[in-house]
Chains A and B, each alone.
Chain A
Amino acid sequence: MERSVTHVALFAALVAVLGLVPQIALPGGVPVTAQSLGIMLCGTVLGARRGALAVGLFLLLVALGLPILTGGRGGLGVFAGPSVGFLLGFPVAAFVAGLVTERAALPIGWAAAAGAFLGGIVVLYVLGAAGWALMLGKSMAEVQVFLLGFLPGDLIKVALAGLITRSVARMRPGSLLSRPA
């Protein structure tokens, strides 16, 4: 019980910190903020249920008024804005990423990358585009072109989620809650 609560809380803090820290250079030198990578890691490291709870807890603190979204944003306003679909999609993305990591009959690195792709790109993009469409009065087909700009960076994060989860599995096999040793 205690272990569940502290893991959920610490990973919510990790997602927040990854949005605050100065940008991290990706392979190739492109700087990005790593918040969406943190969302994927919640799922791939903590598993579906705890991962979704961690991201949900993070969103709760955003709503309460902490400026912990990338770019120092936060408060209730971000939930009234056009990107609400992405925000509400975050816990779903973490859940799907965790579910695939738990269930896929693949080596841990590949399973985590597959989960991060399905959750952090496929599911998140559908929900994010639905939010844009709803808030801007457009159809899904009309807004999806804007997603393409995010795709290259997110694909790199999917690969990183796989690599980092594999490293965690090697160094702390007992702590990888998505695949208990």
Chain B
Amino acid sequence: MLTLTSPVETWLHRCPAGVKLAALAAVTVGLISMEGLVGPSLALVAVGALYLSCGLLRYGLRSLLPLWPFLLVLAVWHGWTGTLAEGGTVALRLITAVAAANLVTMTTRLTDMVTVLERLAGPLRHLGLPPRTLALALALVIRFIPVLSDRISTLRFAWAARSARRAGWAILVPTTLAALDDADRVAEALRARGGAG
């Protein structure tokens, strides 16, 4: 299945995922404590430079699009109350934090992310969640997203063959039943092969 990782390999792809995630955490915590306009602006320029060095600037800007309604609200609000500088700090912090996080996602492969996750989840074994079960659950979800997606398409075609209107909420009932039935069958198949534990 498609992920948000950039298929074009950059130097950041070759950085260890753990290092990138730790740096991201540090940057995000640092941003929260920044006041004024200079600090957040410099941080944004630095993140922009990282994007440029990877040649991902265009994708980076596109992935920031979902933020515009919030930036509009901030602009109107702070324009109205005459506190544009404060609003600028909030907006800059927000854009920089989201851009930095997107960059890590774009330059880290799913397998590398899962490896870090498995290492981090190791201690959870003492709480009754073995890393193997977590890995199995992740793999099951990734495998079953296209399966359930096909199931919904089939139901939609069946609907379209019988009705002139578009598919209504009623197809969510067989969809939910399909998920429940698949879960039972996969559980049986797992048990037959030695179990999930």
Contact = CB atoms under 8 A, between A and B. Distances in A.
11 contacts: A5-B133, A9-B136, A10-B148, A10-B183, A12-B137, A37-B172, A77-B101, A80-B97, A137-B89, A160-B169, A168-B173
Contacts of A168: 173, 176-177, 180
A79 to B, nearest CB: 7
A9 B141 CA distance: 5
Interface stretch (B8-16, B49-57, B110-118): B110-118
Q: Is the interface of B mostly helix, strand, loop or mixed?
A: helix
A168 B141 CA distance: 21
A61 interface: yes
B67 A9 contact: no
Given A67-B4, A136-B74, A77 B63 contact: yes
Q: Is the interface of A mostly helix, strand, loop or mixed?
A: helix
Contacts of B105: 65, 74-77
A66 B183 contact: no
Given A10-B148, A136-B94, 13 more contacts: A3-B184, A41-B176, A60-B138, A64-B138, A65-B4, A65-B105, A66-B4, A73-B66, A74-B105, A81-B67, A82-B67, A164-B176, A172-B180
Q: How large is the interface on A (under 10, 10 to 19, 20 to 34, 35 or more residues)?
A: 35 or more
